[in-house]
Each structure stands twice: as structure tokens, then as C-alpha cells.
Amino acid sequence: DTAVSQTPKYLVTQMGNDKSIKCEQNLGHDTMYWYKQDSKKFLKIMFSYNNKELIINETVPNRFSPKSPDKAHLNLHINSLELGDSAVYFCASSLPAGNSPLHFGNGTRLTVT
């Protein structure tokens, strides 16, 4: 009964490929996020969706396209993968209220070779 689940856990692919990471939450939250943690362990927000609507887009390259088919899912599609995209990607969700905590998934480790 995992609250925020991401698949796959590990993803190894070559430069230039297109890949997707899926995220699902069963907490009934309206807001979902994608965060990126690089090799230096900095955790930065990429996107935020509230009820399927894009709220935050932190100047992420156009190669990254989030898709929210419903408020329980927020998938991340990445086109033309580059070496610098290698990182751990975390999905999270929260209630829309301003001071509600985030619940994170356990991450997807993406390695681009």
C-alpha cells in the first residue's frame, strides 16, 4: 500500500533515447511534483501540478514534458536524453493547502550512457 510509487526504480539508457518515468499516488492528494537530485545531492523542484494543471515549471528544458492524465498520476517523459540528465528523479504529492507536507516516492535512478 505504498503511498507514492514510481516506476521504474532504475533506468539505464543511451544518449538520444526517449524515456518515461511513471508516478502514482493513492493518498487522494491534488498536487503532484517532480524533483531532481543530482550527483552532488542537491534536490531541486522541476514541476508541480495541481489537479492536472501545471503550476510550477522551474525552467526545465523542453525535452522534459510532464503529463498528468488524472490527479493521481504524474508521468515524466524525457526526449533526446543527455548525459547531464543522469540523476535521481523523485515524485511527490501533497494537499493543495499551503502548509501541507510533501510525500515523496523512493526515486528513479536514471543513468544515461
Partner 1 sequence: DAKTTQPPSMDCAEGRAANLPCNHSTISGNEYVYWYRQIHSQGPQYIIHGLKNNETNEMASLIITEDRKSSTLILPHATLRDTAVYYCIVSAKKSSGDKLTFGTGTRLAVRP
Residue ranges in contact with partner 1 by CB under 8 A = 4, 30-31, 33, 35, 41-45, 48, 50, 55-56, 90, 92, 94, 96, 98-107
Nearer to partner 1, 14 or 39 (CB): 39
Can you say how many angstroms the Cα of residue 77 is from the centroid of all Cα atoms in its chain?
A: 9
Please state, in angstroms and rounded to a whole number, the distance separating the CA atoms of residues 62 and 80.
Answer: 10
- State in angstroms the smallest separation of the CB of 90 from partner 1: 5
Min separation Cβ 15 and partner 1, Å: 25
What amino acid occupies position 113? T
How far is residue 16 from each of residues 27, 28, 30, 49, measured CA to CA in Å?
A: 35, 36, 33, 27
Q: Among 58, 56, 77, which residue's Cα sits nearest to residue 67?
A: 77
Nearer to partner 1, 14 or 99 (CB): 99
Q: Closest approach of Cβ 56 to partner 1, in Å? A: 6
Q: Which is nearer to partner 1, 50 or 65 (CB)?
A: 50
